[in-house]
Amino acid sequence: MKIVVIQGPNLNMLGIREQNVYGPMKLEDIHAQMKAFADKNKLEIEFFQSNLEGEIVDRIQECIGDADGIIINPAAYTHTSIAIRDAIAAVQLPTLEVHLSNIHQREEFRHKSLTAPVCAGQIVGMGPFGYHLAMVGMTQILSEVAAMKQAQQQAQAKQK
């Protein structure tokens, strides 16, 4: 099973920008922890970060036939991007949205997520641990999807 992790704008600046909000951990450290979890659980994982909305849309679309699930932190695009929302909806892959900070405790404009309604779930305010929770959650979702497909195949085989 393959999970693609998509990181939005300014997340490449983690560890430098607003440490009081986002903490001191760098993006590569978060990715290293996610990779360790993936390796331990025999999952393939790929990381992508862009500050450009169109590149994020392109990467989401490229997940069709290439990935089983997506973990995304759309960052500021969470609150503004209908294009990213539509791409997530179009690929029809289990998607979990992650935010380091609790967007509901921040400025009013950050309270509304355009992308959350097309995601399987949203994890907010847990700092870097939120990505670990997303890995656990995605592992469970993908296991359930695999079990459901297997049950459907067995039911079809019995009908023949």
Which CATH number is 15's domain given? 3.40.50.9100
Mean pLDDT over 106-128 rounds to: 89
The answer to whether residue 95 scores a pLDDT higher than 80 is yes
Using DSSP, state whether 14 is helix, strand or coil. Answer: coil
Residue 16: the pLDDT is: 86
CA–CA separation, 111 and 7 (whole Å): 19
Residue 18: the pLDDT is: 72
What's the sign of the alpha-carbon dihedral 140, 157, 91, 5?
A: positive
Q: Please write the tens of the pLDDT for every residue from 38-80.
A: 999 999 999 999 999 999 999 999 999 999 999 999 999 999 9
Question: How does residue 101 score in pLDDT terms, banded at 50, 70 and 90?
Answer: confident
Q: Calculate the average pLDDT of the chain.
A: 93
Higher pLDDT, 159 or 27: 27
Q: Residue 72: in which H helix or E strand, if any?
A: strand 69-73
Q: Please write the tens of the pLDDT for every residue from 135-156.
A: 999 999 999 998 998 998 888 8
Residue 15: the pLDDT is: 87
* Per-residue tokens: 95: 């998607």
131 catalytic? Reply is no
Tokens 């970060």: give the residue.
Answer: 49
Question: How does residue 19 score in pLDDT terms, banded at 50, 70 and 90?
Answer: low
Residue 115 to residues 38, 79, 145, Cα–Cα distance (Å) = 25, 8, 22
CA–CA separation, 103 and 118 (whole Å): 17
Residue 134: the pLDDT is: 98
Residue 16 domain boundaries: 2-159
CA–CA separation, 6 and 22 (whole Å): 17
Higher pLDDT, 3 or 14: 3
CA–CA separation, 67 and 46 (whole Å): 9
22 catalytic? Reply is yes
The answer to whether residue 124 scores a pLDDT higher than 80 is yes
The number of distinct structural domains making up the chain is 1
The percent of residues above 90 in pLDDT, for the chain, comes to 78
CA–CA separation, 21 and 40 (whole Å): 30
Q: Which member of 77, 99, 131, 132 is catalytic?
A: 99
Helices (H), the chain: 19-22, 27-40, 53-62, 82-91, 129-159
The answer to whether residue 12 scores a pLDDT higher than 70 is yes
